Amino acid sequence: MSAVSSKDVATLREKTGLGMMDCKRALEATDGDFELAIDYLRKKGIAKGEARSGRTAGQGVVESYIHPGGRIGVLIEVSCETDFVALNEEFLRVVRDLAMQVAAAVPTVALALTKEEIPAAKVAHELEIYKAQIEAEGKPAQIAEKIAQGKLEKYYQDVCLLEQPFIKDPKMKVRDVVLELAGKLKENIQIRRFARFAIGE
């Protein structure tokens, strides 16, 4: 294992906003590789965020976003535990990004927050359509089932905000962005509700 310099630790801390010891451990665990260390910390941050998800989040902000041209608008409510975090610049930046995420959503579907909000009958109906399409191509039933499940995951990415690839980093889901922020700010952070408005829809 290569020695980790304090300068490298400070650089990683500046990039991630996480604690010095967390950054030092991440660099030690990844032999000083910054990209791997960031992935390491991202996973750690998400785990910390999940651990806080049961705590009461009674503060937060309502953010608005109007897309240039004035034809699409979004309102989104994101909650946190304290008014201190509600005023935090990083928290507000992520909330603005989430509002933009909703604005960029597929306009032909009604966007839900989670998979659980999609009625079971609707999910079953979509799955049957996918299976029928695949079987019509001559694929065996067991293969059709597997492919249909993959198509269902893509469907969730279209209609569930938390399952969508994040517009600023498609390798992450929106869910991961929220959990990472919760880990970094050490509070429970939740998207409560949102509304998307578009002319003619």
Q: What total of structural domains would you count in the chain? A: 3
- The answer to whether 92 touches 85, Cβ cutoff 8 Å, is no
105 and 165 co-located in one domain: yes
Domain limits for position 125: 119-158
Q: Which of 197, 180, 188, 23 is nearest to 94 (CA)?
A: 180
User: In the numeric block, which tokens belong to residue 149?
Assistant: 């499940």
154 and 167 co-located in one domain: no
Q: What pLDDT shows up at residue 145? A: 80
134 and 170 co-located in one domain: no
173 and 145 co-located in one domain: no
Burial of 153 (0-12, 13-18, 19+ CB in 10 A): exposed
81, part of any domain = yes
pLDDT digits (tens, 9 = 90+) for 112-152: 999 888 989 999 999 888 888 888 888 887 787 888 888 99
User: In the numeric block, which tokens belong to residue 65?
Assistant: 């976003």
81 and 11 co-located in one domain: no
Average pLDDT per 10 consecutive residues for the chain, totaling 201 residues: 77 69 83 83 65 68 94 95 93 97 81 89 90 84 83 90 92 90 89 91 74
Q: What pLDDT shows up at residue 108? A: 65
Q: What pLDDT shows up at residue 18? A: 64
41 and 24 co-located in one domain: yes
User: In the numeric block, which tokens belong to residue 86?
Assistant: 């509600």
Q: Which CATH number covers residue 11?
A: 1.10.8.10
Q: What pLDDT shows up at residue 70? A: 93
69 and 104 co-located in one domain: yes
Q: What pLDDT shows up at residue 56? A: 61
b/e for 4-38, b at 16 or more Cβ within 10 A?
beeebbeebbeebebeeebbbbbbbbbebeeeebb
Q: What pLDDT shows up at residue 1? A: 46
